[in-house]
Amino acid sequence: MGRSLRFVVVIILVAVLLRPGPSAKAAMGIPFGADLIAPGSNRWDDVERGLFRRMRGNIARFRIPVGFGGSPSQVEELIDDGARTVILTTEDCDFTPDRTRADLVGRGFYSVVERHPEVQFFIEVSNETNICGMDPYRARFWMLETREELRDLDRPNFGWMASMPTVLRDAEIILSRQDDGAVGDVYDAIAVHHYGDYNVWPLEDHYEWVDVTNLVLTQTSLPLYVTEIGINDPATPKPEKARRILEAVAQMPDRIRGVMVFAITEPQDNRWPQYTVDGAMADVFASRPDAPEDGSRAPLPEPRHAPSSGPPPVQRAPRRTGARP
């Protein structure tokens, strides 16, 4: 073997050995946290907030419609507990400009965005629109209209996230390019959900979650956030589910920028017992290599003062063709 050939072989072997594997991605710090769906309960401090801190989350999904009972002060508490990305989610199928502004601005959540430039916020528009029976053409229309009408709320630390339905046909319509443009042109990120009977990456192909995710990856260049992830099988122990979810996160494409477990909720909420996070799951999540050092094992921090500089600004998309100035 000649000297030049040996040199090439050595270079290839070094490249293979240094190539990051699944665990390397986890160590690089993809934001990981939970979807909190019952902040209005009287167990917020010791259950919902306590579990978020115990799992050492650094990204949180928080429902802002009044029916969920959450408050802006609770979002600030999650920030105090380590959340550095916060997804504020609209009503499932009522996200007109007026309703979205009323929930976001009228209820005081936008003031939290203004007070915390060090935190990256997104407004996640819609939630599984096909399940609540919304026509996908109507969903697409209101996604575009609400984005356009609320451009006055744009800030460097505030982005717009379009949430995908659970079926491919509806997602294709919502992301389609038509005479009025495309959702992918004016939104900053896309939200998808990942559920499986036993595993959540690779996604089990008898569900359409995999088709919807692949559609987003191929039809847009936007970052993805998994705003719900869960394993359905009731016989699988909760700690094992947590381990499988962490293994899945380590294998996900680089375009996926954050993952939230479904769900942290009040103890009396028995709608989805196979998914809800308990203490055993939270402890497994806290053991991930990129978990923040603070959280469940540290006292509650003093409220943080906003620093002079925040996260990198969201890259804004241009206005859609024919939009009002």
DSSP assignment string, 14-45? HHHHHS--HHHHHHTT--EEEEE--TTSTTII
Query: What pLDDT shows up at residue 292?
Result: 84
For the chain, residues with pLDDT lower than 70 are 1-28, 294-325
Question: Rounded to whole angstroms, how far apart are CA atoms 171 and 190?
Answer: 11
Beta-strand pair 256-264/224-231: parallel
User: Could you tell me how many helices (H) and strands (E) the chain has, helices first?
Assistant: 12, 8
Burial 31-57 (b: 16+ CB within 10 A, else e): bbbbbbbbbbbeebeebbbbbbbbbbb
Query: What pLDDT shows up at residue 6?
Result: 53
* Structural contact between residues 191 and 61, judged by C-beta atoms closer than 8 angstroms: no
Residue type, 91: E
CB within 8 Å of 214: residues ≥ 6 apart? none
Question: Rounded to whole angstroms, how far apart are CA atoms 319 and 276?
Answer: 40
CB within 8 Å of 198: residues ≥ 6 apart? 204, 231, 233, 236, 244
Phi, then psi, of 64 in degrees rounded to 5: -100, -15
Query: What pLDDT shows up at residue 3?
Result: 56
Query: What pLDDT shows up at residue 281?
Result: 98
Query: What pLDDT shows up at residue 42?
Result: 84
Residue type, 175: L
Query: What pLDDT shows up at residue 2?
Result: 59
Question: Rounded to whole angstroms, how far apart are CA atoms 225 and 36?
Answer: 16
* Structural contact between residues 30 and 256, judged by C-beta atoms closer than 8 angstroms: yes
Tokens of 174: 């919502």
